[in-house]
Homo-oligomer: A and B are copies of this chain.
Amino acid sequence: MSGIADRLRAALGARVHTDPETLAAHRRDYWARAEIADLTGHGPPPPAAVVRPESTEQVATVLRLCRDARVPVVPFGGGSGVCGGVESRPEVVVLSTRALDGLVTLDSRELRASFRAGTMGGDAERRVASEGLTIGHWPQSVELSTVGGWVATRAAGQFSTRYGSIEDLVLALEVVLPDGRILRSAETPRAAAGPDLRQWFMGSEGTLGVVTEVTFSLRPQPESRRLAAFHFPTLESGLEAIRRFIRVGWQPPVVRLYDERESRRQFAAQCPEGRCLLLLVHEGPTGAVTAEAAGVDALCRAEQGEPADPKAVEHWLEHRNQVPSFRELLERGLVVDTIEVAATWDRVSGLYRAVVASLRELPEVALASAHSSHSYRSGTNLYFTFAARVEDRTRMAAIYDECWRRTMRATHAAGGGIAHHHGIGRVRRAYLRDEIGDVGVALLRALKRSLDPDDLLNPGVLLPEPAANAP
Task: Show the binding face of A for B, using Cβ within 8 Å.
Answer: 107, 109-112, 153-156, 165, 167, 171, 177, 181-197, 199-205, 208, 217-220, 222-223, 247-250, 284-285, 287-288, 290-292, 294-295, 342-346, 374-381, 415-424, 428, 432, 435-437, 439-440, 442-444, 446-447, 449-451, 462-463
Chain B residues with CB under 8 A of A248? 220, 223, 284-285
Assuming A110-B378, A111-B377, is B183 touching A443 (CB within 8 A)? yes
Assuming A183-B443, A440-B185, is B346 touching A217 (CB within 8 A)? no
Docked complex Cα distance between A208 and B195 (Å): 10
Q: Which of A191, A343, A346 has the most CB of B within 10 A?
A: A191
Which of B107, B112, B218, B287 sits near A294, CB closer than 8 Å? B287
Docked complex Cα distance between A311 and B182 (Å): 51
* A406 to B: closest C-beta gap in Å: 19
Assuming A192-B203, A193-B417, A195-B202, is B156 touching A110 (CB within 8 A)? no
Chain B residues with CB under 8 A of A107? 346
Inter-subunit contact B195/A444 (CB<8 Å): yes
Which of B165, B182, B219, B444 sits near A439, CB closer than 8 Å? B182
Inter-subunit contact B185/A195 (CB<8 Å): no
Chain B residues with CB under 8 A of A450? 446-447, 449-450
Chain B residues with CB under 8 A of A295? 285, 287-288
Q: A154-B192, A192-B420, A249-B284 are in contact. List 5 more A-B contacts (CB 8 A).
A: A156-B190, A189-B343, A194-B424, A199-B200, A446-B450
Inter-subunit contact A437/B184 (CB<8 Å): yes
Assuming A183-B437, A377-B217, is B222 touching A417 (CB within 8 A)? no
* A277 to B: closest C-beta gap in Å: 22
Assuming A194-B204, A249-B285, A450-B449, is B377 touching A344 (CB within 8 A)? no
* A255 to B: closest C-beta gap in Å: 13
Q: Kindly report how many copies of this chain are found in the complex they form together.
A: 2
Chain B residues with CB under 8 A of A288? 249-250, 288, 291-292, 295
Inter-subunit contact B189/A195 (CB<8 Å): no
Which of B112, B218, B377 sits near A218, CB closer than 8 Å? B377
Which of B192, B342, B415, B419 sits near A422, CB closer than 8 Å? B192
> Which 3 residue pairs across A and B have the least CB separation, nearest first?
A188-B417, A287-B291, A189-B379
* A348 to B: closest C-beta gap in Å: 9
Docked complex Cα distance between A264 and B376 (Å): 42
Docked complex Cα distance between A155 and B344 (Å): 25
Docked complex Cα distance between A181 and B220 (Å): 46
List 14 A–B pairs whose Cβ atoms lie within 8 Å, in order of A's numbering: A110-B344, A110-B346, A110-B379, A111-B247, A156-B190, A177-B443, A189-B343, A189-B344, A190-B374, A191-B342, A195-B201, A217-B377, A219-B247, A450-B450
Nearest residue, chain B, Cβ from A177:
B439
Chain B residues with CB under 8 A of A194? 203-205, 424, 432, 436, 440, 444, 462-463
Chain B residues with CB under 8 A of A380? 189
Which of B191, B247, B435 sits near A435, CB closer than 8 Å? B191
Inter-subunit contact A193/B424 (CB<8 Å): yes
Nearest residue, chain B, Cβ from A447:
B447
* A414 to B: closest C-beta gap in Å: 11
* A221 to B: closest C-beta gap in Å: 10
Nearest residue, chain B, Cβ from A437:
B184
Nearest residue, chain B, Cβ from A204:
B195
Chain B residues with CB under 8 A of A378? 110-112, 171, 187, 189, 217
Q: Which of A205, A287, A346 has the most CB of B within 10 A?
A: A287
* A457 to B: closest C-beta gap in Å: 14
Chain B residues with CB under 8 A of A199? 195-196, 199-200
Docked complex Cα distance between A197 and B202 (Å): 11
Inter-subunit contact B436/A185 (CB<8 Å): yes
Assuming A194-B436, A195-B444, A287-B291, is B417 touching A376 (CB within 8 A)? no
* A183 to B: closest C-beta gap in Å: 5
Chain B residues with CB under 8 A of A202? 195-196
* A23 to B: closest C-beta gap in Å: 29
* A253 to B: closest C-beta gap in Å: 11
Assuming A290-B291, A295-B287, is B203 touching A222 (CB within 8 A)? no
Inter-subunit contact A219/B417 (CB<8 Å): no
